A = this chain, B = another copy of it.
Amino acid sequence: MPRVNAEHKEERRAQIIAAARTCFARAGFHRTTLQDVFAEANLSAGCVYSYFKSKEELVFAIAEQRHQDERAAIVEGSSAQDPIEGLRSIAQRFAHDYLGEDGLERRLIAIQTWSESVLNPALLASVLEGVEAPMRQIAQLIRRGQAFGKLSTKIDPEATARTMIAMLHGFILQKLWEPNLDPAAGLAIFERFLDSLSVPSDSRR
């Protein structure tokens, strides 16, 4: 029995995924050949194929990984005591990860995934879950904010959450198109948006 265990396999998987992310971010899913990935990962075709049985599966694995990361980000925010702080925390976390200077690869993978998802049901399911999980958490935080009297009860938690997500996604696109865009301006708007949802008496910051 060779000295290869589950841990080694997990490392290889990660190595392949990392290489694929690099390639996909550089050239997109379709323009990236698997040869590119093999070269980037320093692995042979056969080896990569023993971990992912098609290019599609590799694409899917990368989408899944993205959503796992996002879920982790949300859990953090949801644990905040103050729901407003929770919202702010989630927004900042996402803004940092996706709009920050280090987020380029993430952004590039994101848009590829979005674009691919509309033509690939399996990917769509993954993207949907990745979008809806945060949406539910945000709506939940809003509801808690309303219960605590900190957010206006006139707003619809679901629609508001949806809008927040829309703004984030829209900013991701803009940051891709204009790499020098300062995400701070966007965040400021977001704060103002949050404020607009707050109960009048509570105008702050």
Contact = CB atoms under 8 A, between A and B. Distances in A.
Interface of A: 27-31, 108, 111-112, 114-119, 124, 127-128, 131, 155-156, 158-160, 162-163, 165-171, 173-174, 176-178, 185-186, 188-190, 192-193, 195-196
A178 B130 CA distance: 13
Contacts of A167: 163, 166-167, 170
Main secondary structure of the interface of A (DSSP, over half): helix
B159 A128 contact: no
18 contacts: A28-B118, A31-B119, A111-B115, A112-B115, A114-B173, A118-B177, A124-B177, A155-B192, A156-B189, A160-B189, A162-B174, A163-B167, A163-B189, A165-B174, A166-B167, A166-B170, A166-B186, A167-B170
A168 B165 contact: no
Given A168-B170, A169-B169, A189-B160, A118 B124 contact: no
Contacts of A30: 29-30
Contacts of A171: 166
Contact of A174 (B28, B119, B156, B166): B166
Contacts of A128: 177-178
A169 B111 CA distance: 12
A115 B185 contact: no
